[in-house]
Chains A and B, each alone.
Chain A
Amino acid sequence: MAENKKKKRRKGTMASATERMLVGQNINIEEEEELVTPMQQVVRNFVENKVAMTGMFCFLVILLCCIILPFFFPIDRYYQDVTQANVAPGFGLMTPPKALQGNAMDISAGSTYSVGLDRNGNVYEWGTFPNAKLKKLPPASEMGKLVQISAGLDHVLALNEEGTVFTWGNDRMGLESIPMDLRMGDKVTKIYAGYQVSFALTDRGRLYNWGNEYLVDVRIPKEVQGNIADFEANTNIVMVRTTDGRLVPLTQKASAYTQIPEEIQGHVVDFALSDESVAAITDDGQLHVWGNNVKGTMNVPEELEGTPVRVEGGRYHFVALMEDGSLRAWGDSTFQQNHAPSISEKVVDLSAGYYGSYAIGESGKVYSWGLKGYLMGTDAFGRDVFRRLLKGGRMTLTVGAIAVVISTIIGVIVGGVSGYKGGRIDNLMMRFTEIVSSIPFLPFAIILSAIVGNRVTETQRIMMIMVILGLLSWPGIARLVRGSVLAEREQEFVTAAKSLGVKELGIIFRHIIPNVLTVIVVNATLDFATCMLTESSLSFIGFGVAEPNATWGNMLNSAKDSKVIEDFWWRWVFPSISLAICTISINCVGDGLQDAIDPKSKER
């Protein structure tokens, strides 16, 4: 016992102070002894342990982030957007170069990059480029003075003063072959680069399209061709406005946005397409919206005072320019697309594309809002890594915690009963424990998950992983509890409880287990880290929690490919770091607890 106390004091400054006092005055130590309960001593030891406290801090930060932040940065499990695939971390998507500020003429927002023209016809490109060829512009001498520019998914169209069209970027799927008609004679007035398709409208009202013909179904009726005044396109359809103000969808497939309200036909002055809906302004200054109300694209703000004169659409948002020069935006707010700035000067040009919008003021100043970038980039499906990291962390921590709870409960029951009862029951239970611990853990978990996991839903699958982990990892804790119970059961308080007639289960779980609680807590903490690691390993090789649910393990799944490791570092670095920091800090805490309690000194 004396050695026991001495050992506790060995740690930290407080302890050494006590020891100094021991040499000096005797009265002081006795006061100290009376004041400090074993529990307080444990807490003090733990707090003095810098490594453990740092671990505790890191873990709490991660835990709080994973619990709280997903409410502020939500992500739909099934959300996917290939146009945003593999974007590097950064917030420069909507920041035009300085040279363009105050001198801008035309700007177009592409998938993850934007292009702009200044008043001298020079081209500027910024953002993350999905394709290296986007940087290979045709020589300026060849293009002359450019007047219009349009950015698509991964290619750019530009138009010069003479009405000639140029294209660069993705040159496959026919994108590079500008129709012959456009190269001779016809003067182009409007260009649009879409999702692997390009469009050009000529001054004679004819619309031309080229590029990937499988994505957008374009059928131009004979009576429309030659009478086209304006056109807009999204990823699914192209719609044109004829010279007499009628809207005509250039498709034969009927959908929600082809149901054009009859009363506006012949009166349309401007219109815009989002992915699922259409907004049109009629000659009486009314705004009409129809289509599918996805992400609030049809929730036009009620206080739309004044009359709109121009409307533009991104993937899930619209922005309208009012007569008084102010801007109104509505629709999806995930990337603040609907937060149009209030601009003091007159807006001369407006453009919206994908998740961003630009407005150019009279002075040539560029105003931008919308998707500025991703903190940690995006994965192959265009999902924000940061948002998935938060969700994944929550999942990983939950699975680990529940697995530990399961294994601890089983372990305490088996260990407690077997340690207290002893004899034949002990022997039987320990043999059983040995059998379970002889089962090779990872291969067995893989097989169980592969076999059971095929016929269950996603939620059931997650629960199954928890149960598998819990059921396979209890032997360690059972052995430990058994050992501690064996040491405790001969103590006087147990004899007292027995003589009072307390039932056996009562003695085990009410009287003995609380005394070995510290051992259980330490072991559960260390097991928590192990369970998290195992879950991550399982998910990593594809036998754990499956897509579309995120965990840190399955976020790393795609990094099995060395191409991903090399080119898209953000896809594996961030989940790896989170996982590593989390498990390291949990282990530090567990270790610190173990040191603080020091069960070894108790055994001796």
Chain B
Amino acid sequence: MGKGRYLVKRLIYIVFVFFIISILMFCIYKATPGDPVRMMIGDTGNIEPERYQTMYDQYAELLGVNKPLYVQYGVWISNMLRGNFGYSTQYKRQVIYVIGTPMLNTLKLNIFSMLVVFMISVPLGIATAVKKNSVFDKAVQVLTIVGYSIPSFVIALLAIFVFAIKLKWFPVGGVRTAGLEAEGLADALDVGRHMVLPVLVMSVGGLGSITRYVRASMIDALRMDYIKTARAKGLKEKVVIYVHAFRNALIPIVTVTTWWIIGLFGGSVVIESLFSWRGLGSMLLDGLMQRDFSIVLAMQMFYVVLSLAGNVIMDIAYTIVDPRVRLDS
């Protein structure tokens, strides 16, 4: 079986999983207490029951909640696939217009965290693997346990206390300084300043676990016979480590990293709510509080798609880093 067919098979499977999860989500939402139509109408004061009923029917028609469940699902999923995420009862606008900025904000936060984590953890993991059992290695080992054990919000509280309140280096929360009318570079700098603490906090957990995985798989790789061969050939130690060993160590790293990235997006819910960062996470929480199902559903589907996309990327990455995967035995 070739590489292409393998990927196609995986893709078909992932689409299948997507539908199963989407049905699951949809069922859960429909089982929610509370009436979205009532929520949307809000307080009307003293209104005649008949007029209220007409109004109710109109809104129900608009939201499409008066049809049977499977029709609602069909309508919803086809709309979803066409990028029509429904009507937000909270913002009184189409969801698609509401989620743009938050999505960008969340992406910014997560991408910067990923960059920070990779730039530090990969070299650190390799260094500790090479100097296995040294004092440096042991110190890093303990630190990484601490890193991935402490809940992110505890680190966040500490960071806010030290860097935002005591030292006043960075703002406590938000995406931009309120009332600041900056453009271009000044605006980017302002956003950047607001981003430092959330990114720092989100990186700590990842730093801990990724460093450990890089170290573990590097140690395994360095034990292999081909490393001895490479050294025996007289290759430079750097080449042996970074080309021969690291490339082979990448396979488990890819797996772990993908799961970590997916978890990162999910975990940013907590960080966003703590730093009042207007991202998808805080939007999800707001939506839940306000019973704005369209928003919640759209957010959830985003997370699902992200997670499945992570799976696909993982598969592709496997075929790149490990040629053996092509022959799906």
Interface residues of A (CB under 8 A from B): 51, 431, 434-435, 438-444, 446-448, 450-451, 454-455, 529, 533, 536-537, 540-541, 543, 556, 559-560, 562, 565-566, 569, 572, 576, 579-580, 583-584, 586-588, 591, 600
Contact = CB atoms under 8 A, between A and B. Distances in A.
Contacts of B273: 541, 560
Contacts of A442: 263, 266-267, 269-270
Contact of A562 (B141, B173, B308, B311): B173
Interface string B279-322: 00100110010000000100110011011100100000000000
Contacts of A587: 145, 148-149
Contact of B288 (A447, A569, A583, A588): A447
Contacts of A448: 28
Interface of B: 13, 17, 20-21, 24, 28-29, 31-33, 141-142, 145-146, 148-154, 157-158, 160-161, 164-165, 172-173, 220, 262-263, 265-267, 269-270, 273-274, 281, 284-285, 288, 296, 299-300, 303-304, 306-308, 311
Contact of A440 (B17, B32, B150, B307): B307
Nearest to A442: B266
Given A556-B157, A560-B274, A565-B160, 14 more contacts: A439-B307, A440-B262, A440-B304, A440-B306, A442-B266, A443-B281, A446-B288, A450-B288, A529-B149, A537-B152, A566-B165, A576-B157, A587-B148, A588-B145
B172 to A, nearest CB: 4
Contact of B165 (A439, A562, A576, A583): A562
Contacts of B173: 562
A448 B27 CA distance: 11
Contact of A580 (B21, B24, B154): B154
B140 to A, nearest CB: 13
Contacts of B288: 446-447, 450, 543
Contacts of B152: 537
A376 to B, nearest CB: 16
Nearest to A569: B161
B150 A584 contact: yes
Given A448-B28, A450-B288, A583 B149 contact: yes
Contacts of B157: 556, 559, 565, 572, 576
Contact of B153 (A454, A540, A569, A600): A540
Contact of A51 (B142, B269, B300): B142
A435 B270 contact: no
B21 A438 contact: yes
B118 to A, nearest CB: 22
Contacts of A580: 146, 149-151, 154
B165 A435 contact: no
Contacts of A529: 149
Contacts of B304: 438-440
Contacts of A579: 150-151, 154
Contacts of A434: 17, 311
B28 A451 contact: yes
A541 B270 contact: yes
A556 B31 CA distance: 31
A584 B146 contact: yes
B288 to A, nearest CB: 5
B158 A440 contact: no
Contact of B150 (A51, A454, A583, A600): A583
Nearest to A567: B165
A4 to B, nearest CB: 14
A556 B150 CA distance: 14
B242 to A, nearest CB: 23
19 contacts: A51-B142, A434-B17, A438-B17, A438-B304, A438-B311, A442-B269, A443-B266, A443-B281, A444-B303, A447-B288, A454-B33, A455-B33, A536-B153, A540-B153, A543-B288, A560-B274, A566-B165, A569-B161, A576-B154
A438 B308 contact: yes
B28 A447 contact: yes
A244 B90 CA distance: 67
Contacts of A431: 13
A566 B153 CA distance: 16
A356 B125 CA distance: 58
Contact of B17 (A435, A446, A584): A435
Contacts of B220: 600
Nearest to B138: A51
**Which of A454, A569, A587 has its CB near the most chain B CB atoms (within 10 A)?**
A587
Given A434-B17, A566-B161, A446 B285 contact: yes
Given A441-B266, A565-B157, A451 B32 contact: yes
Closest 8 CB pairs of A and B: A440-B303, A442-B266, A584-B149, A583-B149, A576-B154, A562-B172, A450-B288, A587-B149
A536 B284 contact: no
A123 B287 CA distance: 55
Contacts of A447: 28, 288, 296, 300
Given A443-B303, A446-B285, A565 B165 contact: yes
B145 A438 contact: no
A440 B265 contact: yes
Contacts of B154: 556, 576, 579-580
A594 to B, nearest CB: 10
B227 to A, nearest CB: 15
A213 B31 CA distance: 48
A57 to B, nearest CB: 15
A168 B135 CA distance: 61
A448 B296 CA distance: 12
A565 to B, nearest CB: 5
